[in-house]
Amino acid sequence: MEFMRIIGLLMSSVALMLGAVGHAQTLPNGIPAKFTPVTSTFDYDRREVDVKMRDGVALHMVLIVPKAAHDAPILLDRTPYGAEKMTSRQESSHGAMLVNPAYAEFLTAGYILAVEDIRGKYGSKGEYVNERPLIGPLNGTKVDHATDAFDTIDWLSKHVKEANGRVGIIGTSYDGMMAAMALVHPHPALKAASPMNPVINTWMNDDDFHGGAFRMTGYDYYFGQDTARGSAGDLWRSAYDDYDTFLRAGSASGFVKSRGLDQIPFVRDLHDHPAYDTYWQGQALETILPKQPQTVPTLWIGSLWDQEDMYGAVAAFEAVSKHDPNHLNHLALGPWAHGGWSGAGDSLGAIRFQSDTGTWFRQHVLIPFLDGYLKSGGQPAQIAPVTAFQTGTNEWQRLPSWPVACDSGCGTPSRKLYLRENGTLSFAAPTAEGADDYISDPAKPIPYRQRPIRGTDAPGSTWRQWLVDDQRAFSDRPDVLTYQTEPLEAPLALAGAPVADLVASTTGSDGDFVVKLIDLYPDEVPEKPEMGGYQLPIAMDILRGRYREGFSQAKPITPNAALTYRLTLPNVNHVFLPGHRIMVQIQSSWFPLYDRNPQSFVPNMFDAKPEDYRKATIRIYHAPAQASALELPVVAIDTSR
């Protein structure tokens, strides 16, 4: 009996174990069928909406609405970079943490933020066309970015109950171009605009061409942006140093074919339109915008060291200001890189500005400007027509116009600084015959920054700051000519665009000319010893010689002929301080930022063959009848400070 009892107990235990196993297999799902987060402590509502355009295409938009919002203005940013990404930077109960710090300031100031994917990108439907032209000869459809902005603003003004019906449009770079395009036949509810570092003319010294020379770094952008509805990521490399990667590829087309980039329509357009032809002219916003009345108060924002879109803000402001009787347009220039208005702005590379210039600008210029036109009962802020940071003195200025107009008491608006013998510069014209030579070798092009050169977004890249990099690494090369003044005894202020007038010859039938205007620091700087002898670029740019007579048509250069090459440099607002010197450097390559000029004329430089690349001897003249000089926009020094 005892044996049977033990057997029974064992069987009961087994049954219990089997039952336990069976029970484990039917445990309830650990994920609720529906989870409802408790957001009562959130200080915002985040809304996702799809807004239909006039052609039925739905564009995706995210709104960040402060819970305290009432009778609030709306700021709209139309972007190809992902509305979801731009409005979900961190998970937080505070709306200010969802966006970048500058946009957080807008929320704090009482604005509703709306960020919309442009058509064909990320969450928006429709077809994406990079830099979609406005309706006209290049766009035969009935929609463009101007109509999409109109339809979006119409929806916002009618469907956001917390809003006051007033909309402002903002954005940096491509988004800045979207803000500029919204000014073409604008919606009545659009009451203010601020295009920030906008792409205004991508051939005329914004992203893709400078002086006719092609920027090969743009291929990174077009791969990431134009091969996927979202982002395709980074374009792969075959060497750590971009100098090696691009040099081994040969021509620009050689690099394109090695990556399959010729599948991208815009890359093909770049190849097919190397000159400033009707394709580019038809998209030039600085030409399009002034053709209609200026009705929207606009603050154009530019950066003095913008490594991407240096041209657009100033060019647009200057163009529309000629047709702006009500003075609705304003300009701001800060000591920043691309998009630097949104940061602290206290430094750039090794250069310090002695204050948080970005913070000051947003709090004293940008937000007051927006408040005045967008908040109910607001009055236009008393900001100057032009607010510009003067580097050298490191002070903000309130200016009446740009370029700064000189009256009779401020000296000559354009003062010539001449290249002279023995590598000198002088405000006195040359009195003796003279010239300097160098050999430009396409097999050994001059790098545009110190090597190794990393891709624009690669780890360790100095792309953001390279425009203020010390130029000593290049000044002693045998293929770079360097000229300098004696130490200045008095400060010299410039405000505007310097112009280089070079009289030069080449043994080739084509060639490039790079001109750098540099502030050469004293040999020793007591307050910051590491800045002793620093060569700070103030303005630098390039001219492709085939376009010396005009950008719309390429022409060969007559070998060995002394010809004039006129190159307008980027805008400056700078004071050369006493004890500093003015330096000028001249060279014929800037690689791989710009493609190599083969120095023998070919119909399309994108397709240059290895045998086309040839050495050339370049001669820069400084003689009474062949005087090379820089025309400097000299202005009076403000002695009231």
Whole-angstrom distance, CA of residue 196 vs CA of residue 130:
19
| pLDDT band at residue 638 under the 50/70/90 scheme | confident
Provide CATH code, domain 414-635: 2.60.120.260
Instruction: Give the model confidence (pLDDT) of 18-56 as tens digits.
Output: 555 555 578 989 999 999 989 889 999 999 999 999 999
What are the boundaries of each domain within the chain?
A: 44-204+279-399, 209-278, 414-635
Predicted confidence (pLDDT) at residue 314 exceeds the cutoff of 80: yes
Residue 421 CB neighbour total at 10 angstroms? 16
- Residue 6 has what pLDDT? 55
- Is the separation of the CB atoms in 84 and 116 below 8 Å? no
| Lookup: tokens for 309 | 């879109």
Measure CA of the first residue to CA of the last residue in the chain; give whole Å: 113
- Residue 175 has what pLDDT? 98
At 142 the three-state DSSP class reads coil
Identity of the amino acid at 336: W
Assess whether the region 44-204+279-399 and the region 414-635 belong to the same CATH fold: no
Instruction: Give the model confidence (pLDDT) of 444-494 as tens digits.
Output: 999 999 999 999 989 999 999 999 999 999 999 999 999 999 999 999 999
- Residue 407 has what pLDDT? 47
Provide CATH code, domain 44-204+279-399: 3.40.50.1820
For range 270-288, the mean pLDDT: 98
- Residue 408 has what pLDDT? 44
Q: Transcribe 334-377 into DSSP letters.
A: ES-STTGGGS--SEETTEE-SS-HHHHHIIIIIHHHHHHHHSTT
The DSSP output letter for 455 is -
Tell the CATH topology of 209-278.
alpha-amino acid ester hydrolase ( Helical cap domain) (1.10.3020)
Distances (CA, A) of 136 to 183, 201, 277, 339: 16, 17, 16, 30
Whole-number mean pLDDT of the chain?
Answer: 94
Instruction: Give the model confidence (pLDDT) of 92-126 as tens digits.
Output: 999 999 999 999 999 999 999 999 999 999 999 99
- Residue 463 has what pLDDT? 96
Whole-angstrom distance, CA of residue 248 vs CA of residue 238:
9
- Comparing 63-77, 116-130, 332-346, 405-419, the range with the smallest average pLDDT is 405-419
Instruction: Give the model confidence (pLDDT) of 589-634 as tens digits.
Output: 999 999 999 999 999 999 999 999 999 999 999 999 999 999 999 9
Who contacts 235 (Cβ-Cβ below 8 Å, separation ≥6)? 219, 220, 223, 224, 259, 455
- Residue 7 has what pLDDT? 53
Predicted confidence (pLDDT) at residue 639 exceeds the cutoff of 80: no
CA atoms within 13 A on the CB side of 68: 9
- Residue 128 has what pLDDT? 97
Instruction: Give the model confidence (pLDDT) of 357-397 as tens digits.
Output: 999 999 999 999 999 999 999 999 999 999 999 999 999 99
